Amino acid sequence: MIRFRPIITKSLLWIFLFIIPVFGSFVKFADDSSATQVVPRVYLDCSFCDFDFLRSKIPYVNYVYDRQNADIYILITRQTTGSGGREYTLTFLGQGAFSVHSDTLTMVTLHNDTDDEVRRNLARHVEIGLLPYIYDTKIMENLSINYEGKRDTVANDADKWKLWFFRINLGGHFSGEAASSNYSFSNRFSGDRISQDWKIQFSSRLSLERDRYVVDEDTLFSSESHKQFRLLVVKSLTPHWSAGINSRFSSSTYDNISSAVNVAPGIEYNFFPYSESTRREFRLLYEIGYELLSIDDF
């Protein structure tokens, strides 16, 4: 019995050492598995979104009002595009058990899209961004995916305008009576082209106004005109540096300026990459300009 006791002790020791790691692994696996069974808590950071509409379209997650308590943090920002529409950036950041996932989606709308079209498109992109977080949860049991396009749809159509977008604005006014009359006319033509390497913007404006007054059988006339042309050209040098030139030509009879020419080259540094401009930016801009004025004599 005395000789046999150490053998039993050794066997029990090996069994104990074997069971503890296996049991610990099982407990860890059970914890990880249970974490994926909970409904994710979402914190939506968006100052312009229709929250009620998003909640109605995406009801299968829990929405919280404290970012620290969320499993998924969604930041939505937007900026104006060169075509007059908007580019939306959706940043998804997992927290806690979902911290292994992070992603960024972009969405572009046209200038003539309605508010309803924009919010529906935005809700669709939020759903797409949530997929990596919910594919391993019980939500997938009741989730389906539908494709609404056509099989022969061409994904990338050629841009006939080469990224250019033009605007024309016309306006006028007329009023008159026996003792006075007034008419005015204005027009504006502008163009934009924005790409990853270049930003080109120009605009021209012309406004005319004429007044007539009858005073003691005398007819008096007054008129004024304004003209302006502006050109901005910026070249992206690196993800942080850009350089360009801003120029303007104008004249105004109201200000007695026959011509005014302003030319200002400049350089800019962004502490964050320009690709993250919808989320964060901190820029330093330095310009040095030259202006030449020609004033009319009275």
pLDDT in tens, the chain (298 residues): 444 444 444 444 333 334 444 444 333 333 444 445 578 899 999 999 999 999 999 998 999 999 999 999 999 999 888 777 888 999 999 998 888 888 999 999 988 899 999 999 999 999 999 998 888 788 888 877 777 766 655 455 566 778 788 889 999 999 988 888 999 999 999 998 888 788 899 999 999 999 999 888 888 988 999 999 999 999 999 989 999 999 999 999 988 899 999 999 999 999 988 777 767 788 999 999 989 989 877 5
Both 268 and 204 in one domain: the answer is yes
Question: Is 257 contained in some domain?
Answer: yes
Both 136 and 173 in one domain: the answer is no
Both 119 and 189 in one domain: the answer is no
The total domain count for the chain is: 2
Structure tokens belonging to residue 53: 């509409």
pTM value is: 0.57
How far CA 79 is from CA of 76, 89, 111, 276, in Å, comes to: 11, 9, 12, 11
Question: Is 16 contained in some domain?
Answer: no
Question: Is 269 contained in some domain?
Answer: yes
Among residues 109, 142, 175, the one where a domain terminates is 142
Structure tokens belonging to residue 74: 């969604």
Rounded percentage of the chain residues whose pLDDT exceeds 90: 47
Both 224 and 278 in one domain: the answer is yes
Q: How far apart are CA 196 and CA 209, in angstroms?
A: 41
Among residues 142, 175, 206, the one where a domain terminates is 142
Residue span of the structural domain in which 121 resides: 41-142
Question: Is 254 contained in some domain?
Answer: yes
Q: How far apart are CA 120 and CA 178, in angstroms?
A: 56
pLDDT at 197: 87
3-state secondary structure string across the chain = CCCCHHHHHHHHHHHHHHHHHHHHHHHHHHHHHHHCCCCCEEEEECCCCCHHHHHHHCCCCEECCCHHHCCEEEEEEEEECCCCCEEEEEEEEECHHHCCCEEEEEEEECCCCCHHHHHHHHHHHHHHHHHHHHCCCHHHHHCCCCCCCCCCCCCCCCCCCCCEEEEEEEEEEEEECCCEEEEEEEEEEEEEEECCCEEEEEEEEEEEEEEEEEECCEEEEEEEEEEEEEEEEEEECCCCEEEEEEEEEEEECCCCEEEEEEEEEEEEEECCCHHHCCCCCCEEEEECCEEEEEECCC
Question: Is 154 contained in some domain?
Answer: no
Q: How far apart are CA 76 and CA 70, in angstroms?
A: 16
Question: Is 266 contained in some domain?
Answer: yes
pLDDT at 17: 39
